[in-house]
Structure 1
Amino acid sequence: MTPALYGLFLLGLLSGTLITMSSTHWLLAWIGLELNTLAMLPLISRYYHPRATEATLKYFLVQTTASTIILFTATLNAWYTGQWTISHPAPTLTTIALTASIMFKLGIAPLHLWYPEVLQGAPMTAALIIATWQKLAPLSLAYMTLHLVSTNFLVIVGVTTIAIGAMTGLIHTQTRKVMAYSSIGHMGWLLIALLLSPKIATLTVMVYITTTTAAFLVLTNTRSNTITTMGTSWPQGPTCLLMMALNLLSLAGLPPLLGFAPKLLIIEDLTHNGLAPLATTMILLGLPALYYYVRLAYFTLLTMPPMTHPMRVMKINRFPPSSPLMTTAALLLATMPLPLIAILYEIV
């Protein structure tokens, strides 16, 4: 794929997301989602590999199915109410179908089974885009239609998503699948944050995208596809792998790293609203996720591959010249001071 063509597809991703996020009309939102899907498919299949082809087909089927349901519900809503406005109250049937389609696009449980498989088969850069940028358009639709859905239903779905993301990630050793279940778990936290406050939800999205991007940058730079290869990459780039460990602990929500702030605000807000049992449940469900984050950090920092000439291996550097830039970016993204987060929270 030529750089010009690659840039054209990235422009399509940008345009599709902005169209969906800025529209209040269902047809414009649907057009933005379709543009997003069509621009993403060549990025997943840019390398001619059976797994990439399989991931492309799965992504196409999932996204087109969800977009078709959205178009059907929008048409049905216009038939019943005469309105194409996204935030307009809708009948129960269309609300259920719309909620399911948005959950499908976001990879929220129980409609999440496609998500780890697509991320595993996609190239690392495409997996990064799917896990971060491609979440924004469906999230904007979820925010605009949140008042149409039962709060109890969303709480149950959010807690279930956190549990599945935490429990299922324990059994995988492929880094992209672990990051996929990490993303699923964070979607559960984000769903609860949407019910509490737009400020907390916005901050949660920003922190999630920031930390996930930093982690994927290091995985891309070190070509770490499994937990074992993360350990073998240490002699060739110790600083870069140290930043990866910080990003993993930040994703786990450990203080004083960046990922701690949104989880603290969510737990604090739940407690102030008299929902301490829900907050306790979310904390307990986050412990398995903490375990596999710490396990990844352990393999990154404290394991060394078998070698007979350590000093000679340390001189090998297969990383591209952008490694110092990636390392600096990962460090800044993982350890952004909490006072800055507080200022950001007040702004948004």
Structure 2
Amino acid sequence: MPSNSTKVLLLITLVGGMLVSVSSNSWLGAWIGLEINLMSFIPLMSNVKNMYNTEASLSYFIVQVLASATLLFMVVMKTLTEDLFSFDSNPYAPVVISTPLLLKSGAAPFHWWFPGVMEGLSWENCALLMTVQKAAPLMLMSYLIEINAFTLTIILMSTIVGSIGGLNQTSMRKILTYSSINHTGWMLIALTTSENMWMMYFIIYSILALTVVSAIKLSGVSFINQTMMTNSDTTTIKFMMYTSLLSLGGLPPFLGFLPKWIVIQAMITNNLAPLATIVVVTSLITLYYYLKISYSSFMILSAEPKWNLKSHKNKSISTSWTLMLSSISLTGLVACTMITNIN
């Protein structure tokens, strides 16, 4: 929890803006909620001591204002020309209103701002951008989304760009960014099936993303080549970080496999087997670059420079928090299976 009272207030208004947007019964109210959410997140992002942070917050602000202005314009045009409450008369209305929401959530091909912004943020803000900031736009998408050519194109582009884009990256932040884009594609598939499935996927994804971010922050790693040189005393933190990454990739023994499993079953039930095949293959590609990060540290022999004196002994609270999240990630699938069988 932030120690600064201003940050606590901004976090409350950030979540409040998201709740206003989600619970609103009009598009104008949803737009107001998105604006409250944006105006709360910008001060949380900005840090005068970090040049990259300032650049990232400015880029994020410009993109989000563009998306908000487009959304407001589209909604007003819809109200003036037709009826505000129905989308039956014009088949293109859901598409044009979905576009700014997809830009806000960072789905491909509207993802161009996402990697650059993530690269300039602190790990706490990265976690917020990957989880909380996606909730309101995707929830608003659920009112409009249906299986058509536009939706399928967005899903395929998000999963393919999210998997291939992360292959050549060395920055941990950019790898998590492209992973988030890939997961956005999966969430859109879940949205076409039911809101409950999307909620389940989003909650599990948020837990896993928080686990990965807290473990990476604890280990002090920002790039792949630093993973081999982390302190040998922190074996537990290494184990937590890599198992959480594999869970986020959807490896079967871990919790991250559960939502993907359910979404795949739903796709096959809805006669979307070709789409299921493509998204599973792209998910395997994301798993490959997680394994690329983990491989060096899963080796028995690893190098550690003599000047690596970074200590984690004073971070007992952070370590216990990460350990708790990591244990949920490791044992969640077993627990869910047991509960299902008992019921």
Taking a change above 3 Å as real, the CA distance of residues 232 and 88 of structure 1, as seen in their structure-2 partners, is same
Counterparts in 2 of 1:218 and 1:47: CA distance versus 1, 3 Å: farther
Give 1:89 shift. 4.4
2:140 match: 141
Q: Counterpart of 2:166?
A: 169
Of residues 280, 288, 294, the one that matches 1:291 is 288
Q: Tell me how large the CA RMSD over aligned residues is.
A: 2.4
- Compared with structure 1, are the counterparts of its residues 225 and 54 closer, same or farther at alpha carbon in structure 2 (3 Å cutoff)? same
Task: In structure 1, give the amino acid aligned to 2:130.
Answer: A
Amino acid at match of 1:291: Y
Q: What residue in structure 2 maps to residue 123 of structure 1?
A: 122
Q: Which residue of 2 aligns with 1:304?
A: 302
Give the aligned partner of residue 80 of structure 2.
Answer: 79
Q: Residues 191-233 of structure 1, C-alpha deviation per residue, up to 9 Å, x if partnerless?
A: 1111123332221111111101100111122221111222222
Q: Corresponding residue for 2:267?
A: 270
In the alignment of these two chains, the number of paired residues is 339
Secondary structure (helix, strand or coil) at the match of 1:216 reads: helix
Deviates further, 106-115 or 318-327: 318-327
| Cα distance change, pair 5–336 in 1 and its aligned pair in 2 (3 A) | same
> Normalising by structure 2, what TM-score?
0.91
The residue correspondences of 1:97-246 to structure 2 (distance < 5 A) are 97-147=96-146, 151-246=148-243
> Contact conserved, 1:257 with 1:334, CA < 8 A, in 2?
yes
* Alignment correspondent of 2:41: 40
In 2 relative to 1, CA 71–233 (structure 1 residues): closer, same or farther, beyond 3 Å? same
Higher alpha-carbon deviation: 104-113 or 266-275: 266-275
Between 188-197 and 130-139, the greater mean CA deviation after superposition: 188-197
What is aligned with 2:11? 10
**Deviation, structure 1 residue 327:** 3.4
Write out aligned runs for 1:18-57 (5 A): 18-57=19-58
Task: Provide the C-alpha distance between the structure 2 equivalents of 1:24 and 1:138, rounded to a whole number of angstroms.
Answer: 15
Post-superposition CA distance 1:109-143 (Å, at most 9, x none): 10001001111111111111001111111011011
Distance 1:272 1:71 in 2: 37
Contact 2:211 2:322 in 1 (8 A): no
User: 1:339, CA displacement in angstroms?
Assistant: 5.0
Give the TM-score normalised by the residue count of structure 1: 0.90
The code of the aligned residue for 2:57 comes to T
Task: Specify the code of the residue in structure 2 equivalent to 1:317.
Answer: H
The answer on whether the counterparts of 1:222 and 1:319 sit within 8 Å (CA) in structure 2 is no
Distance in 1, Cα, partners of 2:285 & 2:15: 35
Unpaired runs of 5+ in structure 2? none
Q: Which amino acid aligns with 2:161?
A: I
- In 1, the alpha carbon distance for the partners of 2:30 and 2:148 equals 24
Deviation at 1:154, TM superposition (A): 0.9
Q: Is the 8 A contact 1:218 1:326 kept in 2?
A: no
Structure 1 counterpart of 2:82, one-letter code: T
Q: Tell me whether 284-293 or 334-343 shows the greater mean CA deviation.
A: 334-343
1:333 aligns with 2:328: yes
- C-alpha displacement of 1:258: 0.6
Identity over aligned pairs, percent = 30
